[in-house]
Protein backbone atom coordinates (compact mmCIF):
# COMPACT_ATOMS: atom_id res chain seq x y z
CA UNK A 1 0.00 0.00 0.00
CA UNK A 2 1.22 3.48 -0.85
CA UNK A 3 0.14 7.02 -0.14
CA UNK A 4 -0.37 8.98 -3.36
CA UNK A 5 -1.41 12.55 -4.18
CA UNK A 6 -3.06 12.59 -7.62
CA UNK A 7 -3.33 15.94 -9.39
CA UNK A 8 -5.54 16.59 -12.43
CA UNK A 9 -5.13 19.67 -14.63
CA UNK A 10 -7.76 21.74 -16.40
CA UNK A 11 -8.01 19.69 -19.61
CA UNK A 12 -8.38 16.50 -17.55
CA UNK A 13 -11.49 17.91 -15.80
CA UNK A 14 -12.82 19.99 -18.72
CA UNK A 15 -16.36 18.55 -18.57
CA UNK A 16 -18.45 16.03 -16.64
CA UNK A 17 -17.40 13.12 -18.88
CA UNK A 18 -13.74 13.87 -18.28
CA UNK A 19 -14.33 14.21 -14.55
CA UNK A 20 -15.89 10.73 -14.69
CA UNK A 21 -12.77 9.51 -16.45
CA UNK A 22 -10.65 11.08 -13.69
CA UNK A 23 -12.82 9.36 -11.09
CA UNK A 24 -12.05 6.03 -12.77
CA UNK A 25 -8.31 6.70 -12.46
CA UNK A 26 -8.85 7.42 -8.76
CA UNK A 27 -11.02 4.35 -8.22
CA UNK A 28 -8.33 2.17 -9.78
CA UNK A 29 -5.79 3.38 -7.19
CA UNK A 30 -8.28 3.13 -4.31
CA UNK A 31 -9.08 -0.44 -5.34
CA UNK A 32 -5.36 -1.24 -5.10
CA UNK A 33 -5.58 -0.24 -1.43
CA UNK A 34 -3.63 3.02 -1.70
CA UNK A 35 -4.33 6.09 0.43
CA UNK A 36 -5.36 8.87 -1.92
CA UNK A 37 -5.62 12.65 -1.82
CA UNK A 38 -6.56 14.41 -5.05
CA UNK A 39 -5.85 17.97 -6.15
CA UNK A 40 -7.88 19.47 -8.98
CA UNK A 41 -7.58 22.49 -11.26
CA UNK A 42 -10.52 24.45 -12.61
CA UNK A 43 -12.12 23.22 -15.84
CA UNK A 44 -9.91 24.36 -18.73
CA UNK A 45 -10.62 27.93 -19.77
CA UNK A 46 -12.54 28.66 -16.55
CA UNK A 47 -9.81 30.60 -14.78
CA UNK A 48 -9.23 32.74 -17.88
CA UNK A 49 -12.93 33.51 -17.97
CA UNK A 50 -12.98 34.46 -14.29
CA UNK A 51 -9.91 36.67 -14.69
CA UNK A 52 -11.57 38.37 -17.66
CA UNK A 53 -14.72 39.03 -15.63
CA UNK A 54 -12.74 40.61 -12.82
CA UNK A 55 -10.95 42.83 -15.32
CA UNK A 56 -14.18 43.75 -17.06
CA UNK A 57 -15.72 44.72 -13.72
CA UNK A 58 -12.78 47.03 -13.12
CA UNK A 59 -9.38 46.97 -14.78
CA UNK A 60 -7.71 47.99 -11.52
CA UNK A 61 -9.18 45.70 -8.93
CA UNK A 62 -8.54 44.69 -5.35
CA UNK A 63 -6.38 41.54 -5.33
CA UNK A 64 -8.38 40.06 -2.42
CA UNK A 65 -11.55 40.18 -4.48
CA UNK A 66 -9.70 38.85 -7.54
CA UNK A 67 -8.76 35.86 -5.39
CA UNK A 68 -12.35 35.41 -4.18
CA UNK A 69 -13.42 35.25 -7.84
CA UNK A 70 -10.74 33.14 -9.48
CA UNK A 71 -10.56 30.56 -6.69
CA UNK A 72 -14.14 29.56 -7.47
CA UNK A 73 -13.17 27.46 -10.51
CA UNK A 74 -11.40 24.87 -8.35
CA UNK A 75 -14.27 24.87 -5.83
CA UNK A 76 -16.63 23.69 -8.58
CA UNK A 77 -14.39 20.85 -9.82
CA UNK A 78 -13.62 19.59 -6.31
CA UNK A 79 -17.34 19.33 -5.51
CA UNK A 80 -18.19 17.69 -8.84
CA UNK A 81 -15.43 15.12 -8.52
CA UNK A 82 -16.46 14.26 -4.94
CA UNK A 83 -20.06 13.70 -6.08
CA UNK A 84 -19.01 11.48 -8.98
CA UNK A 85 -16.67 9.42 -6.76
CA UNK A 86 -19.46 8.97 -4.21
CA UNK A 87 -21.83 7.86 -6.96
CA UNK A 88 -19.28 5.18 -7.90
CA UNK A 89 -19.16 3.93 -4.35
CA UNK A 90 -15.85 5.60 -3.45
CA UNK A 91 -15.97 7.52 -0.17
CA UNK A 92 -14.82 11.06 -0.96
CA UNK A 93 -15.01 14.56 0.48
CA UNK A 94 -14.12 17.94 -1.06
CA UNK A 95 -11.79 20.38 0.69
CA UNK A 96 -11.22 24.06 0.03
CA UNK A 97 -7.90 25.64 0.98
CA UNK A 98 -9.22 27.26 4.18
CA UNK A 99 -10.80 24.05 5.42
CA UNK A 100 -7.55 22.10 5.61
CA UNK A 101 -6.06 24.74 6.17
CA UNK A 102 -3.41 25.55 3.56
CA UNK A 103 -1.88 28.69 5.03
CA UNK A 104 -0.23 31.18 2.69
CA UNK A 105 1.48 34.53 2.97
CA UNK A 106 -0.44 37.72 2.23
CA UNK A 107 0.63 38.21 -1.40
CA UNK A 108 -2.82 37.94 -2.93
CA UNK A 109 -2.88 36.58 -6.50
CA UNK A 110 0.71 35.34 -6.11
CA UNK A 111 0.68 33.84 -2.64
CA UNK A 112 3.19 31.32 -1.34
CA UNK A 113 2.25 28.36 0.80
CA UNK A 114 3.67 28.64 4.28
CA UNK A 115 2.18 25.73 6.12
CA UNK A 116 -0.28 22.89 5.61
CA UNK A 117 -1.90 21.18 8.56
CA UNK A 118 -2.70 17.85 6.93
CA UNK A 119 -3.73 16.02 10.10
CA UNK A 120 -7.43 15.76 9.25
CA UNK A 121 -6.69 14.55 5.72
CA UNK A 122 -4.44 11.87 7.22
CA UNK A 123 -7.20 10.88 9.69
CA UNK A 124 -9.51 10.35 6.75
CA UNK A 125 -6.95 8.11 5.02
CA UNK A 126 -7.41 5.70 7.91
CA UNK A 127 -11.13 5.60 7.09
CA UNK A 128 -10.39 4.96 3.38
CA UNK A 129 -11.82 8.33 2.46
CA UNK A 130 -10.46 10.19 -0.56
CA UNK A 131 -9.74 13.89 0.00
CA UNK A 132 -10.56 16.00 -3.07
CA UNK A 133 -8.68 19.26 -2.60
CA UNK A 134 -9.25 22.45 -4.59
CA UNK A 135 -5.86 23.42 -6.03
CA UNK A 136 -4.45 26.92 -6.56
CA UNK A 137 -5.80 28.28 -3.26
CA UNK A 138 -5.11 28.71 0.40
CA UNK A 139 -5.92 31.15 3.17
CA UNK A 140 -3.86 34.25 3.91
CA UNK A 141 -2.98 35.85 7.26
CA UNK A 142 -5.92 38.22 6.74
CA UNK A 143 -8.24 35.18 6.88
CA UNK A 144 -9.12 35.58 3.20
CA UNK A 145 -8.78 33.24 0.23
CA UNK A 146 -5.42 33.64 -1.49
CA UNK A 147 -4.45 32.14 -4.86
CA UNK A 148 -0.99 30.92 -5.79
CA UNK A 149 -0.45 32.44 -9.24
CA UNK A 150 -1.41 30.93 -12.60
CA UNK A 151 -0.67 27.25 -12.89
CA UNK A 152 -0.54 27.08 -9.09
CA UNK A 153 -2.39 23.84 -8.57
CA UNK A 154 0.78 21.89 -9.45
CA UNK A 155 2.32 23.64 -6.46
CA UNK A 156 -0.72 22.81 -4.31
CA UNK A 157 -0.29 19.14 -5.19
CA UNK A 158 3.43 18.95 -4.45
CA UNK A 159 3.01 20.89 -1.19
CA UNK A 160 0.20 18.57 -0.09
CA UNK A 161 2.30 15.54 -1.00
CA UNK A 162 5.09 16.89 1.21
CA UNK A 163 2.63 17.62 4.04
CA UNK A 164 1.08 14.13 4.08
CA UNK A 165 4.47 12.53 3.43
CA UNK A 166 3.22 10.85 0.26
CA UNK A 167 5.21 8.19 -1.54
CA UNK A 168 4.58 10.00 -4.79
CA UNK A 169 2.79 12.94 -6.34
CA UNK A 170 1.20 11.90 -9.65
CA UNK A 171 0.56 14.83 -11.97
CA UNK A 172 -2.03 13.75 -14.54
CA UNK A 173 -2.04 16.00 -17.57
CA UNK A 174 -2.74 16.03 -21.31
CA UNK A 175 0.73 14.74 -22.25
CA UNK A 176 2.09 11.37 -21.24
CA UNK A 177 5.37 12.52 -19.75
CA UNK A 178 8.42 14.71 -20.17
CA UNK A 179 10.20 14.42 -23.51
CA UNK A 180 13.80 14.93 -24.58
CA UNK A 181 12.51 17.95 -26.49
CA UNK A 182 9.25 19.35 -27.84
CA UNK A 183 7.82 16.52 -30.02
CA UNK A 184 6.14 19.10 -32.26
CA UNK A 185 9.58 20.33 -33.27
CA UNK A 186 11.37 16.98 -33.29
CA UNK A 187 9.11 14.00 -33.98
CA UNK A 188 11.95 11.72 -32.87
CA UNK A 189 11.78 13.05 -29.31
CA UNK A 190 11.65 10.32 -26.69
CA UNK A 191 9.77 10.17 -23.44
CA UNK A 192 12.19 10.18 -20.50
CA UNK A 193 11.56 7.58 -17.86
CA UNK A 194 13.41 9.59 -15.20
CA UNK A 195 14.66 13.13 -14.94
CA UNK A 196 16.32 14.82 -11.96
CA UNK A 197 14.76 17.76 -10.13
CA UNK A 198 17.56 20.03 -11.27
CA UNK A 199 17.20 19.08 -14.93
CA UNK A 200 13.43 19.44 -14.75
CA UNK A 201 13.82 22.87 -13.20
CA UNK A 202 15.90 23.93 -16.19
CA UNK A 203 13.45 22.41 -18.64
CA UNK A 204 10.41 23.89 -16.86
CA UNK A 205 11.85 27.37 -16.70
CA UNK A 206 12.94 27.13 -20.33
CA UNK A 207 9.49 26.66 -21.65
CA UNK A 208 8.77 22.93 -21.36
CA UNK A 209 5.39 23.89 -19.98
CA UNK A 210 4.48 20.64 -18.26
CA UNK A 211 4.77 21.87 -14.68
CA UNK A 212 4.73 25.19 -12.90
CA UNK A 213 8.35 26.04 -12.08
CA UNK A 214 7.61 26.61 -8.41
CA UNK A 215 6.17 23.14 -8.02
CA UNK A 216 9.47 21.65 -9.23
CA UNK A 217 11.43 23.84 -6.79
CA UNK A 218 9.19 22.63 -4.00
CA UNK A 219 9.53 19.00 -5.07
CA UNK A 220 13.32 19.38 -5.03
CA UNK A 221 13.42 21.03 -1.60
CA UNK A 222 11.14 18.43 0.01
CA UNK A 223 12.27 15.53 -2.16
CA UNK A 224 8.75 14.77 -3.38
CA UNK A 225 8.98 12.13 -6.10
CA UNK A 226 6.76 13.60 -8.80
CA UNK A 227 5.39 11.59 -11.67
CA UNK A 228 4.06 13.14 -14.88
CA UNK A 229 1.49 10.96 -16.67
CA UNK A 230 -1.56 11.22 -18.91
CA UNK A 231 -5.17 11.26 -17.77
CA UNK A 232 -6.20 10.50 -21.35
CA UNK A 233 -4.83 7.00 -21.26
CA UNK A 234 -7.69 4.62 -20.45
CA UNK A 235 -7.89 4.15 -16.68
CA UNK A 236 -7.85 0.37 -17.15
CA UNK A 237 -5.11 0.24 -19.82
CA UNK A 238 -2.36 -2.31 -19.11
CA UNK A 239 0.22 -1.10 -16.61
CA UNK A 240 -1.70 1.97 -15.47
CA UNK A 241 -2.24 0.58 -11.98
CA UNK A 242 1.30 -0.76 -11.64
CA UNK A 243 2.62 1.35 -8.78
CA UNK A 244 6.27 0.67 -9.49
CA UNK A 245 6.36 1.14 -13.23
CA UNK A 246 3.42 3.06 -14.68
CA UNK A 247 3.77 4.88 -18.04
CA UNK A 248 5.13 8.40 -17.59
CA UNK A 249 8.17 10.33 -16.36
CA UNK A 250 9.47 10.29 -12.79
CA UNK A 251 11.05 13.50 -11.52
CA UNK A 252 13.33 12.48 -8.68
CA UNK A 253 16.63 12.91 -6.91
CA UNK A 254 19.60 12.26 -9.18
CA UNK A 255 20.77 9.50 -6.85
CA UNK A 256 17.79 7.51 -8.06
CA UNK A 257 18.97 7.79 -11.66
CA UNK A 258 21.38 4.98 -12.24
CA UNK A 259 22.24 5.57 -15.88
CA UNK A 260 23.04 9.25 -16.00
CA UNK A 261 22.95 10.57 -19.56
CA UNK A 262 25.39 13.33 -20.44
CA UNK A 263 22.59 15.23 -22.12
CA UNK A 264 18.99 14.66 -21.06
CA UNK A 265 17.10 17.17 -23.13
CA UNK A 266 17.03 20.18 -25.43
CA UNK A 267 14.80 23.07 -24.39
CA UNK A 268 14.07 26.32 -26.12
CA UNK A 269 12.60 29.66 -25.14
CA UNK A 270 11.14 32.04 -27.70
CA UNK A 271 10.76 35.79 -27.56
CA UNK A 272 14.11 36.73 -26.16
CA UNK A 273 15.51 40.17 -26.90
CA UNK A 274 19.17 41.12 -27.04
CA UNK A 275 20.52 44.48 -25.92
CA UNK A 276 24.11 45.53 -26.56
CA UNK A 277 25.72 48.57 -25.01
CA UNK A 278 28.76 49.65 -27.02
CA UNK A 279 31.85 51.38 -25.74
CA UNK A 280 31.20 51.45 -22.06
CA UNK A 281 33.88 52.83 -19.78
CA UNK A 282 35.63 49.83 -18.33
CA UNK A 283 35.48 50.77 -14.65
CA UNK A 284 34.23 49.27 -11.41
CA UNK A 285 30.50 49.80 -10.95
CA UNK A 286 29.49 49.77 -14.59
CA UNK A 287 27.56 46.50 -14.31
CA UNK A 288 25.83 47.74 -11.18
CA UNK A 289 24.84 50.92 -13.02
CA UNK A 290 23.23 48.87 -15.81
CA UNK A 291 21.59 46.03 -13.93
CA UNK A 292 20.50 47.96 -10.83
CA UNK A 293 17.84 49.90 -12.76
CA UNK A 294 16.80 46.69 -14.59
CA UNK A 295 16.22 44.94 -11.26
CA UNK A 296 14.35 47.92 -9.83
CA UNK A 297 12.17 47.93 -12.93
CA UNK A 298 11.30 44.27 -12.39
CA UNK A 299 13.01 43.21 -15.62
CA UNK A 300 14.33 39.69 -15.65
CA UNK A 301 17.80 39.78 -17.20
CA UNK A 302 19.02 36.42 -18.40
CA UNK A 303 22.24 35.97 -20.40
CA UNK A 304 25.01 38.48 -19.79
CA UNK A 305 28.15 38.69 -21.92
CA UNK A 306 30.87 41.28 -21.41
CA UNK A 307 33.90 41.76 -23.58
CA UNK A 308 36.74 44.16 -24.04
CA UNK A 309 36.59 46.43 -27.04
CA UNK A 310 39.06 48.82 -28.59
CA UNK A 311 42.36 49.24 -26.74
CA UNK A 312 41.06 47.88 -23.47
CA UNK A 313 39.71 51.17 -22.21
CA UNK A 314 36.23 50.24 -23.27
CA UNK A 315 34.00 47.27 -22.82
CA UNK A 316 30.84 46.03 -24.57
CA UNK A 317 27.97 44.53 -22.63
CA UNK A 318 25.38 42.27 -24.22
CA UNK A 319 22.44 40.82 -22.32
CA UNK A 320 18.99 39.40 -22.93
CA UNK A 321 15.54 40.24 -21.57
CA UNK A 322 12.07 38.93 -22.54
CA UNK A 323 10.96 40.63 -25.79
CA UNK A 324 7.96 42.09 -23.96
CA UNK A 325 10.30 44.01 -21.65
CA UNK A 326 12.60 45.37 -24.35
CA UNK A 327 11.02 48.79 -24.64
CA UNK A 328 10.97 49.32 -20.90
CA UNK A 329 14.58 48.18 -20.62
CA UNK A 330 15.69 50.48 -23.43
CA UNK A 331 13.94 53.42 -21.78
CA UNK A 332 15.62 52.72 -18.46
CA UNK A 333 19.02 52.55 -20.15
CA UNK A 334 18.31 55.81 -21.96
CA UNK A 335 17.35 57.49 -18.67
CA UNK A 336 20.50 56.27 -16.97
CA UNK A 337 22.84 56.96 -19.91
CA UNK A 338 24.92 59.55 -18.03
CA UNK A 339 25.54 57.33 -15.09
CA UNK A 340 26.26 54.19 -17.12
CA UNK A 341 28.39 55.99 -19.68
CA UNK A 342 27.93 54.11 -22.96
CA UNK A 343 28.30 55.32 -26.49
CA UNK A 344 25.66 53.37 -28.35
CA UNK A 345 22.79 51.00 -27.67
CA UNK A 346 21.70 48.29 -30.10
CA UNK A 347 18.83 45.90 -29.66
CA UNK A 348 16.97 43.16 -31.41
CA UNK A 349 13.89 41.22 -30.36
CA UNK A 350 12.31 37.94 -31.41
CA UNK A 351 15.37 35.79 -30.75
CA UNK A 352 15.43 32.24 -29.43
CA UNK A 353 17.46 30.65 -26.67
CA UNK A 354 18.17 26.96 -27.17
CA UNK A 355 19.55 25.02 -24.21
CA UNK A 356 21.27 21.68 -23.81
CA UNK A 357 20.56 20.20 -20.37
CA UNK A 358 22.07 17.26 -18.51
CA UNK A 359 23.52 16.43 -15.11
CA UNK A 360 26.12 14.23 -16.79
CA UNK A 361 27.82 17.40 -18.09
CA UNK A 362 29.34 17.92 -14.67
CA UNK A 363 31.73 15.09 -15.25
CA UNK A 364 32.26 15.26 -19.02
CA UNK A 365 34.42 17.64 -21.01
CA UNK A 366 33.70 18.80 -24.54
CA UNK A 367 29.92 18.83 -24.35
CA UNK A 368 29.69 22.48 -25.37
CA UNK A 369 32.21 22.10 -28.19
CA UNK A 370 30.02 19.39 -29.73
CA UNK A 371 27.09 21.82 -29.84
CA UNK A 372 29.11 24.64 -31.38
CA UNK A 373 30.53 22.40 -34.08
CA UNK A 374 27.13 20.94 -34.96
CA UNK A 375 25.54 24.37 -35.23
CA UNK A 376 28.43 25.69 -37.29
CA UNK A 377 28.02 22.84 -39.76
CA UNK A 378 24.42 23.95 -40.28
CA UNK A 379 25.49 27.56 -40.76
CA UNK A 380 23.72 28.74 -37.61
CA UNK A 381 25.20 31.87 -36.12
CA UNK A 382 25.55 32.07 -32.35
CA UNK A 383 24.88 35.47 -30.79
CA UNK A 384 25.60 34.71 -27.15
CA UNK A 385 26.42 31.74 -24.96
CA UNK A 386 26.02 31.06 -21.26
CA UNK A 387 26.76 27.92 -19.36
CA UNK A 388 26.11 26.46 -15.95
CA UNK A 389 27.18 23.17 -14.46
CA UNK A 390 24.32 21.31 -16.11
CA UNK A 391 23.31 23.58 -19.00
CA UNK A 392 24.59 25.30 -22.12
CA UNK A 393 22.37 28.05 -23.53
CA UNK A 394 22.82 29.51 -26.98
CA UNK A 395 21.09 32.59 -28.37
CA UNK A 396 20.24 32.45 -32.07
CA UNK A 397 17.93 33.97 -34.67
CA UNK A 398 14.36 32.70 -34.52
CA UNK A 399 14.48 31.40 -38.11
CA UNK A 400 16.98 28.76 -37.06
CA UNK A 401 15.28 27.66 -33.84
CA UNK A 402 13.78 24.42 -35.09
CA UNK A 403 16.84 23.44 -37.06
CA UNK A 404 19.01 24.08 -34.00
CA UNK A 405 16.79 22.00 -31.73
CA UNK A 406 16.77 19.08 -34.18
CA UNK A 407 20.49 19.32 -34.81
CA UNK A 408 21.37 19.27 -31.12
CA UNK A 409 18.83 16.54 -30.38
CA UNK A 410 20.48 14.32 -32.92
CA UNK A 411 24.13 15.17 -32.21
CA UNK A 412 23.71 14.14 -28.56
CA UNK A 413 22.11 10.86 -29.55
CA UNK A 414 18.65 11.65 -28.23
CA UNK A 415 16.76 10.66 -31.37
CA UNK A 416 14.40 7.77 -31.10
CA UNK A 417 15.70 5.34 -33.67
N1 LIG B 1 -6.78 27.14 -12.57
C2 LIG B 1 -5.55 27.83 -12.30
C3 LIG B 1 -4.98 28.38 -13.59
O4 LIG B 1 -5.54 28.18 -14.65
C5 LIG B 1 -4.55 26.99 -11.59
C6 LIG B 1 -4.11 25.76 -12.34
O7 LIG B 1 -4.78 25.27 -13.22
O8 LIG B 1 -3.03 25.26 -12.01
O9 LIG B 1 -3.99 29.05 -13.57
MG1 LIG C 1 -1.24 23.51 -15.33
Q: Is a pLDDT exceeding 70 seen at residue 258?
A: yes
Mean residue pLDDT of the chain comes to 94
Amino acid 207: pLDDT: 59
**Concatenated DSSP letters for 178-235?**
-BSS-TTT-TT--B-SEEEHHHHHHHHHTT-TTS-HHHHHHHHHHT--EEEEESSS-T
CATH number at residue 121: 3.40.1160.10
Q: Is a pLDDT exceeding 70 seen at residue 310?
A: no
Residue 7 lies in a domain: yes
Q: Mean per-residue pLDDT for 347-372?
A: 94
Q: Do 11 and 160 lie in a common domain?
A: yes
Q: Which residue(s) pair with 77 in the sheet?
A: none
Residue 260 lies in a domain: no
31-66 as b/e: b if 16+ CB within 10 A: eeebbbbbbbbbbbebbeebbeebeeeeeeeebeeb
- Among 255, 278, 298, which residue terminates a domain? 255
Q: Mean per-residue pLDDT for 320-330?
A: 96
Distance 259 CA to ligand 1 centre (A): 35
CB distance 349 to 326 below 8 Å: yes
How far is residue 309 CA from its own chain's centroid? 38
Q: Do 248 and 269 lie in a common domain?
A: no
Instruction: State the pTM of this model.
Output: 0.90
Phi/psi region, residue 319 (left: phi>0; alpha: psi -120 to 50; beta: rest), is beta
As for ligand 1, residues whose beta carbon falls within 6 Å of it are 9-10, 41-42, 47, 73, 135-136, 150-154
Residue 160 lies in a domain: yes
Q: Do 314 and 166 lie in a common domain?
A: no
Q: Do 226 and 276 lie in a common domain?
A: no
Nearest CA to ligand 1 atom 5: 151
Q: Which of 74-78, 172-176, 327-331 has the lowest mean pLDDT?
A: 172-176
Q: Is a pLDDT exceeding 70 seen at residue 372?
A: yes
Q: Do 23 and 166 lie in a common domain?
A: yes
- Among 213, 237, 255, which residue terminates a domain? 255
Distance 163 CA to ligand 2 centre (A): 21
Q: Do 161 and 13 lie in a common domain?
A: yes
Ligand nearest to C-alpha 204: 2
| Nearest CA among 67, 68, 83, 111 for reference residue 23 | 83
Angle at 413 between CA 409 and CA 416, to 5 degrees: 80
pLDDT in tens, 28-65: 999 999 999 999 999 999 999 999 999 999 999 999 99
Q: Do 331 and 231 lie in a common domain?
A: no
Q: How far apart are the C-alpha atoms of 210 and 176, rounded to whole Å?
A: 10
Q: How far apart are the C-alpha atoms of 66 and 140, rounded to whole Å?
A: 14
Pocket test for ligand 1, best of 41, 204, 231 (most atoms within 8 A of CB): 41
Amino acid 203: pLDDT: 87
pLDDT in tens, 101-131: 999 999 999 999 999 999 999 999 999 999 9
Order across the sheet with 35-40: list the strands: 92-95, 130-134, 35-40, 3-8, 168-173, 226-230, 249-252, 194-196
The CA-based dihedral angle spanning residues 112, 117, 123, 128, taken in that order and rounded to the nearest 10 degrees: 0
Q: Is a pLDDT exceeding 80 seen at residue 209?
A: no
298: Cβ contacts below 8 Å, ≥ 6 apart: none
CATH number at residue 319: 3.30.2130.10
Q: Is a pLDDT exceeding 70 seen at residue 391?
A: yes
Confidence of residue 91 (pLDDT cuts 50, 70, 90): very high
Q: How far apart are the C-alpha atoms of 236 and 363, rounded to whole Å?
A: 42
Q: Are strands 3-8 and 102-104 parallel, antiparallel or unpaired?
A: unpaired
Nearest CA to ligand 1 atom 6: 151
Distance 74 CA to ligand 1 centre (A): 8
Amino acid 3: pLDDT: 98
Q: Do 248 and 278 lie in a common domain?
A: no
Distance 8 CA to ligand 2 centre (A): 9
Amino acid 141: pLDDT: 98
Q: How many distinct structural domains can be found in the chain?
A: 2
Residue 417 lies in a domain: no
Q: How far apart are the C-alpha atoms of 392 and 99, rounded to whole Å?
A: 45
CB distance 152 to 97 below 8 Å: no
- Among 255, 288, 306, which residue terminates a domain? 255
Q: Do 251 and 276 lie in a common domain?
A: no
Phi/psi region, residue 191 (left: phi>0; alpha: psi -120 to 50; beta: rest), is beta
Nearest CA to ligand 1 atom 9: 150
Work out the percent of the chain whose per-residue pLDDT is above 90: 89
The CA-based dihedral angle spanning residues 128, 14, 139, 225, taken in that order and rounded to the nearest 10 degrees: 60
Q: Mean per-residue pLDDT for 63-85?
A: 98
Amino acid 282: pLDDT: 84
Q: Do 393 and 363 lie in a common domain?
A: yes
pLDDT in tens, 219-250: 999 999 999 999 999 999 999 999 999 999 99
Sign of the CA dihedral running 289, 294, 296, 297: positive
Residue 205 lies in a domain: yes
Work out the percent of the chain whose per-residue pLDDT is above 70: 98
Residue 343 lies in a domain: yes
Phi and psi (nearest 5°) for 104? Answer: -120, 175
Amino acid 206: pLDDT: 66
Q: Mean per-residue pLDDT for 388-393?
A: 94
Q: Domain of 87?
A: 3-255
Q: Is a pLDDT exceeding 80 seen at residue 86?
A: yes
Q: Mean per-residue pLDDT for 326-344?
A: 94
Q: Do 232 and 132 lie in a common domain?
A: yes
Residue 366 lies in a domain: yes
Q: Do 131 and 59 lie in a common domain?
A: yes
Confidence of residue 208 (pLDDT cuts 50, 70, 90): low
Amino acid sequence: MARIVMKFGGTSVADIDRIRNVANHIKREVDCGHEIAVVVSAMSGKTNELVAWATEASPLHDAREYDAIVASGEQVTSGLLAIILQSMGVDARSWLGWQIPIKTDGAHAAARIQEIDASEIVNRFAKQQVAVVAGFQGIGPDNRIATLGRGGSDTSAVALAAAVNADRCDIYTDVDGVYTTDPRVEPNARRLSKVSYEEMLEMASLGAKVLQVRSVELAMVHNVRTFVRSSFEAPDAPGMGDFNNPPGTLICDEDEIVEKQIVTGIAYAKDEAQISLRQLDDRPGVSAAIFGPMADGGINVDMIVQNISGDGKFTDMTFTVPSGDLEKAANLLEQNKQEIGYNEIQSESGLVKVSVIGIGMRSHAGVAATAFKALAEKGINIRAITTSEIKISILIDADYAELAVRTLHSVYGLDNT
